[in-house]
Structure 1
Amino acid sequence: MAHMIWKGAISFGLVHVPVQLYPATLSEKVGFNLLDRRTIDPIGYKQINKRTGKEVARENIVRGFEYEKDKYVVLSDDEIRAANPESTQTVDILAFVDAPDISFLFLDTPYFLTPDRKGEKVYALLREAMKASGKIGVASVVLHSKQHLAALIPVGPMLALNTLRWADEVRDFDEFKLPPESMKAAGVTARELDMAKKLINDMSDKWDPSQYHDTFRDDIMALVERKIRAGKTEEIAEIEAPRESRRTADILDLSDLLKRSLGRGKGKSSAARNHAADDNDEAADAGTGPTAPARKKPSAARSAGTSRSGGKRGSASATAAPAAHKRHAAA
């Protein structure tokens, strides 16, 4: 069972929904401990006084706000909570907005909200009313001594709370050098656009998160198992540097690249076919394959880009599963 972070209430108008807040995600990352190579003993983590270099006991560590260079106001957790007691335990809804209006760029960390005692009916009322209206709530909430903007989102039987980045935390498009949004100015032809749209349609599928998994973690865990079975848990193997594979010349004709991409399907089988096609193309270019027709050399690298909507920081529906972004609310 997930560990409850806090209990409070959702507030909209004069209505209060008593709720409990839980993390919505599980971390499945590969975790490594730091070890002393000579003895395989774990290396600990110490809190060090930066001026004296001495270790500081946990009970002597406090929070401080730097109001001038090297000058601090010390604040206890109780003082922080007392400064604005209502906001620390309230998901205060500021407005309801259309779900697609919130760009996915602003989504940060998801949480689950469950009804607290005697709050089931009003919880269900708010959830169903939001579903029927197609709206999501924009709210203010304090988590871990930090105020967050957040989106309250109905997801199936659950009300999810997804913290949002503030406007000044998302970079402006103007900071980057980008091709013009006009097709003509960007040099994109109608024929190329039609082929690209067909390729997108061919690769389209229903979103099913269970189809995707962390292959890096799988490979690391398989390596760990092999070393355990071989009794080589404390040995570091010498690994030969991989030889660089020969890269074929870049395709200058975008139409040719699109034509070659079409009809290759989607999913895992597509990746395998693309790899095999690259091998065949390289063999043909080298004149070693079954057939080596005279043609332009294909590119070994295929890049996939996403088009931006006309609005600033293009929007995406926030009602799809809340983003499990990896940045948690800062302490």
Structure 2
Amino acid sequence: MPRAIWKGAITFGLVYVPVELFPATQSEGTGFNLLDRRTLDPVGYQQINKRTGKPIKRSDIVRGYEYEKGAYVVISDEEIKAASPESTQTVELLAFVDAPQVSFLYLDTPYWLAPDKRAGKTYALLRDALAASGKIGIASVVLHSRQHLAALVAAGPALALQTLRWSTEVREFDASQRLPRNAKAAGVSTHELQMASKLIDDMSTDWDPETYRDTYRDAIMGLAQRKAREGKAHELTHVEAPAPERRGAEIVDLSELLKRSLGKRKAADESAPREKRAPKRGKRAA
């Protein structure tokens, strides 16, 4: 478990649950570094004074709020906490809602909440009551000097805090793009709709995140390891990338596309080993 990044409490009516906040995700990108191609020395980033163009030390950097164009008020972390001490130390539950009512468009960053040594009983009470209700808590919390809307969720044995975007941060979809009113209005036949529904049903399974891999990262890591193994770690190899496959350009019949998709799916299922076939909904993944 990484180090706690925040300590405070969940406030639930008159109930007070001391907790610690931990990151619930980690980045697994390809991790490229910038290098000087002449010497392969790492190229770093500098903090630059935008007016003078000169680098400055991190210790000389302070936080400033621009109250009008070009005019700033300097504010310390301690002043921020003192200005609203309660809001910076609590996850304040505001309401409870049915989970499906919160669109995935509002989901931002997940965190784990762990109880401190004093809070085992109240933590368990809130977690189990929340799980039994089938609802999530809508809360307010200040993290990294910014107030967030958040969802408190019972996640197995733990409580998770999922920061949410504010309503002003979720853009309305521009209806002027003239979306089809429905499938029928777009010229889709009943038979085509039935085939599309059949394809969705055939591809439906239980959610198992371990089934999916970052194949792009795997390919880059494999390339890096192979070049190192072949003694070509410092060589820039110029190769002609294969042209992307053009799919569907020769097929204008939607029914034909759906038939091919269903046939391809059926053939893949029949050729796959029994234990590796995608489970249907309601069946447990092997």
- Alignment TM-score, normalising by the size of structure 2: 0.89
Determine if the alignment matches structure 1 residue 118 to structure 2 residue 118: yes
- Aligned ranges for residues 167-178 of structure 1 at < 5 Å? 167-174=167-174, 177-178=177-178
Residue 141 of structure 1: aligned partner: 141
Going from structure 1 to structure 2, the CA distance change for 1:54 and 1:66 (only over 3 Å counts) comes to: same
1:162: which partner in 2? 162
SS in 1 for 2:87: helix
Q: How does 1:63-212 map to 2 (within 5 A)?
A: 63-174=63-174, 177-212=177-212
Matched, 1:58 2:53: no
- Aligned partner of 1:298 in structure 2 is none
Deviation digits for residues 170-224 of structure 1 (CA, Å, limit 9, x no counterpart): 1102356252343332322222211111110011111100000111111111111
TM (norm. structure 1) is 0.77
Does the residue aligned with 1:168 lie in a helix, a strand or coil?
helix
Percent identity at matched positions?
Answer: 65
| 1:248-267 mapped onto 2 (5 Å cutoff) | 249-265=249-265
How many residues were matched structurally? Answer: 271
Alpha-carbon displacement from aligned partner over 1:115-157 (angstroms, at most 9, x marks no partner): 1121011111111111111110000000000000000000100
Tell me, yes or no, if structure 1 residue 222 matches structure 2 residue 197. no
Query: 1:267-282 alignment to 2 at 5 Å?
Result: 269=268
Distance 1:248 1:96, change over 3 A: closer
Partners of 2:14 and 2:172 lie apart in 1 by 37
Question: Matches of 2:123 and 2:246 in 1, distance apart?
Answer: 60
Task: State the alpha-carbon separation in 2 of the partners of residues 234 and 89 from structure 1.
Answer: 50
Q: Residue 142 of structure 1: SS of its match in structure 2?
A: strand
RMSD: 2.0
Stretches of structure 1 that go unaligned for 5 or more consecutive residues are: 274-331
2:83 and 2:133 mapped to 1: Cα distance? 36
Answer whether contact 1:192 1:254 (CA < 8 A) is retained: yes
Please give the secondary structure, in 1, of the residue aligned with 2:82. helix
Matched residue of 1:67: which SS?
strand
- Which letter maps to 1:199? L
Does residue 232 in structure 1 map to residue 245 in structure 2? no
Structure 1 position 265, deviation (Å): 2.5
Distance 1:241-1:131 versus aligned 2 partners, 3 A rule: closer
Change (3 A) 1:35 1:175: farther
**Higher mean Cα deviation, 160-169 or 247-256?**
247-256
CA distance in 1, matches of 2:142, 2:213: 32
Equivalent position amino acid for 2:65 in 1? F
Corresponding residue SS for 2:264: coil
- Provide closer, same or farther for how the CA distance between residues 247 and 99 of structure 1 changes in structure 2, counting only shifts above 3 A: closer
Q: Are residue 12 (structure 1) and residue 12 (structure 2) matched?
A: yes
Give the number of the structure with larger relative contact order, counting CA–CA contacts within 8 Å between residues 6 or more apart: 1
The question of whether the paired residues in 2 share the 8 Å contact of 1:203 and 1:266 is answered with no
Give distance in 2, aligned partners of 1:246 and 1:93. 51
Describe the superposition over 1:250-278 as per-residue Cα deviations: whole angstroms up to 9, x where unpaired.
422212211221143389x47x99xxxxx
Deviation by residue 1:277-327 (Cα, 9 ceiling, x = unmatched)? xxxxxxxxxxxxxxxxxxxxxxxxxxxxxxxxxxxxxxxxxxxxxxxxxxx
1:27 Cα deviation from its structure 2 partner:
1.3
1:239–1:52 CA distance, 2 compared to 1 (3 A):
same
Structure 2, unpaired ranges of 5+: 273-286
Q: Which residue of 2 aligns with 1:294?
A: none
Question: Quick one: structure 1 residues 107 and 244, their matched pair in 2 at CA, closer, same or farther if it must change by over 3 Å?
Answer: closer
Cα distance in structure 2, aligned partners of 1:147 and 1:67? 19
Paired residues of 1:179 and 1:186 also in contact (CA < 8 A): no
CA distance in 1, matches of 2:183, 2:162: 35
